């Protein structure tokens, strides 16, 4: 059996969080006092605390493994990948990595904005330790995959985020690293490019034996690509196993611990429009996370528009067992919503497909976007909710869960005729 390509033992990362005093306006005297306190290193208005983004994390990865790392926001996923990519140093613990690592963590990471696409390809190859001849042998393949031929000699600072990610992924995947590390950044690309990237990652791991570490909130992508999974919770490994078992653990444990029937999102004033909150309700507009099979489920979304926008739409994705049942836009059957939306706070409600079979479901994605330009505000793994069969007569218990498909057809058959045999 081959030795691990990555060994992590008791890895920990600590950040020091500073807390400033109240946000009220200060008097002139208080400002002067604060200045004096600063120079004396005794600022009375601030405090700090230790925050462990990772704590005693240990696992091994073998050559050719495709490992999906999943967890809620703040679980430590991105911090772990940054340490593995040598972007930041651990506070404690040991890491042993055998081979070159190519990373795609954030839009902008690894490219020099003033250099052209062509120059950045050669720069990244050199960073990976490749000769110029090796890079040239892969150059045409990289450019064809990224579909950026027209912009090769344009400084990448002028690229859109989608173009940037296409070229960055192409470079990372084609320059022969032993280990490919990919964070949620692929969500910036369109659905067709995401599929293309998944195919390439499967190819480099299965055909070429390279190792892939993949972080994504899109559990369907993790299930498709990865054969192994690690669930992080509050900076620690909560579960490790196959990708399917890891996803099941995450759905059944991590997500259901959030029992709030309404979800609020942190304000980001840099966005022209932003989702503020959402909740799941019944017909009586009561928030809940457990519904009967024949109970109509509603998704209610509140968002703020900060400047006039045209062509905007809301999208949600509904998943079951990490498989997306479908996406739905608020403009699917109402094109009038594409007209300009003036500044203000809007609340919309939509009926979810009905009736759903018994089981566990997720609102895996909720986003705002502009038609043909993509999403600019995306929230992942918003809700986990359950559909049960409580209203059924005991004789017919579990009849929906034992049938194929995703929905129960609440059919009402009508007899049209009857003719007796002569």
Residue 322: per-residue pLDDT: 73
Lowest-pLDDT range of 35-49, 219-233, 398-412: 35-49
Q: Domain residue spans in the chain?
A: 62-255, 262-396
- Select 62-255's CATH number: 3.90.198.10, 3.40.50.12140, 3.40.50.300, 3.30.70.890: 3.40.50.300
Q: Is 209 left (phi over 0), alpha (psi -120 to 50) or beta?
A: left
Report how far residue 187's alpha carbon sits from residue 185's, in angstroms, rounded to the nearest whole number. Answer: 5
**Mean pLDDT, rounded, for 145-172:** 86
Task: Spell out a b/e string for 57-68, using b for 16 or more CB atoms within 10 Å of the CB, else e.
Answer: bebebebbbbbb
Residue 175 has pLDDT above 80, yes or no: no
* Residue in 141, 102, 99 with CA at minimum distance from that of residue 124: 102
Residue 46 has pLDDT above 60, yes or no: no
Residue 299: per-residue pLDDT: 94
Q: Which residues lie closer than 8 Å to 381 by C-beta, 6 or more apart?
A: 72, 217, 219, 255, 362, 364
Highest mean pLDDT among 169-178, 212-221, 228-237, 314-323: 228-237
- What are the tens digits of pLDDT across the range 256-312? 445 678 888 888 888 999 999 999 999 888 888 889 888 899 999 999 999 999 888
User: In the numeric block, which tokens belong to residue 333?
Assistant: 């059957």
* Residue in 366, 391, 363, 394 with CA at minimum distance from that of residue 378: 366
Report how far residue 399's alpha carbon sits from residue 402's, in angstroms, rounded to the nearest whole number. Answer: 5
Residue 140 has pLDDT above 50, yes or no: yes
Residue 43: per-residue pLDDT: 46
Residue 393: per-residue pLDDT: 58
Highest mean pLDDT among 52-56, 71-75, 82-86, 351-355: 52-56
Torsion angles phi and psi, residue 77, rounded to 5:
-60, -55
Residue 34 has pLDDT above 60, yes or no: no
Of 141 and 125, the one with more pLDDT: 141
Residue 355: per-residue pLDDT: 84
- Select 262-396's CATH number: 3.40.50.300, 2.70.50.60, 3.30.465.10, 1.25.40.20: 2.70.50.60
Residue 411: per-residue pLDDT: 76
Contact in structure between 358 and 295 (CB atoms under 8 Å): no
pLDDT band at 347 (very low <50, low <70, confident <90, very high): very high
In what order do the strands lie in the sheet containing 236-242? Answer: 101-104, 179-182, 211-215, 66-70, 228-233, 236-242
Average pLDDT, the chain: 82
């Amino acid at each position: 059996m081959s030795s691990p390509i990555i060994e992590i033992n008791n890895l920990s990362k600590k950040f020091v969080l500073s807390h400033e005093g109240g946000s009220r306006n200060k008097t002139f005297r208080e400002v002067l006092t604060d200045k004096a306190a600063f120079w004396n290193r005794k600022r009375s208005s601030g405090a700090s605390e230790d925050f462990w983004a990772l704590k005693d994390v240990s696992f091994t990865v073998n050559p050719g493994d495709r490992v999906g790392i999943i967890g809620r926001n703040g679980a430590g996923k991105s911090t772990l990948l940054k340490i593995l990519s040598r972007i930041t140093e651990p506070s404690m613990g040991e890491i042993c990595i055998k081979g070159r690592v190519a990373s795609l963590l954030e839009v902008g990471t690894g490219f020099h904005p003033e250099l052209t696409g062509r120059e950045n390809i050669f720069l990244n190859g050199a960073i990976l330790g490749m000769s110029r001849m090796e890079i040239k042998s892969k150059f045409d393949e990289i450019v064809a995959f990224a579909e950026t031929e027209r912009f090769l000699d344009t400084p990448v600072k002028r690229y859109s985020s989608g173009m940037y990610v296409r070229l960055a992924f192409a470079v990372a995947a084609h320059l022969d690293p032993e280990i490919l590390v990919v964070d949620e950044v692929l969500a910036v690309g369109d659905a067709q490019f995401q599929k293309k990237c998944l195919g390439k990652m499967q190819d480099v791991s299965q055909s070429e034996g390279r190792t892939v570490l993949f972080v994504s909130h899109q559990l369907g992508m993790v299930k498709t690509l990865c054969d192994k999974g690690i669930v992080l919770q509050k900076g620690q490994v909560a579960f490790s196993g196959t990708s399917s078992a890891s996803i099941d653990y995450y759905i059944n444990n991590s997500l259901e611990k959030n029992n709030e029937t309404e979800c609020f999102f942190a304000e980001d004033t840099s966005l022209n429009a932003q989702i503020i909150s959402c909740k799941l309700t019944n017909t009586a507009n009561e928030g809940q996370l457990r519904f009967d099979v024949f109970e109509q489920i509603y998704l209610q979304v509140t968002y703020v528009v900060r400047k006039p926008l045209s062509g905007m739409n809301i999208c949600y994705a509904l998943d079951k067992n990490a498989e997306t049942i479908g996406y739905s836009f608020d403009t699917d059957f109402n094109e009038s919503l594409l007209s300009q939306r003036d500044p203000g706070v809007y609340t919309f409600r939509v009926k979810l497909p009905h009736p759903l079979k018994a089981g566990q479901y997720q609102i895996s994605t909720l986003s705002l976007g502009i038609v043909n330009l993509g999403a600019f505000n995306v929230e992942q793994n918003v809700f986990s909710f359950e559909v049960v069969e409580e209203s059924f007569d005991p004789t017919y218990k579990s009849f929906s869960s034992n049938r194929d498909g995703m929905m129960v057809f609440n059919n009402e058959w009508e007899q049209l005729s009857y003719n007796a045999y002569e």
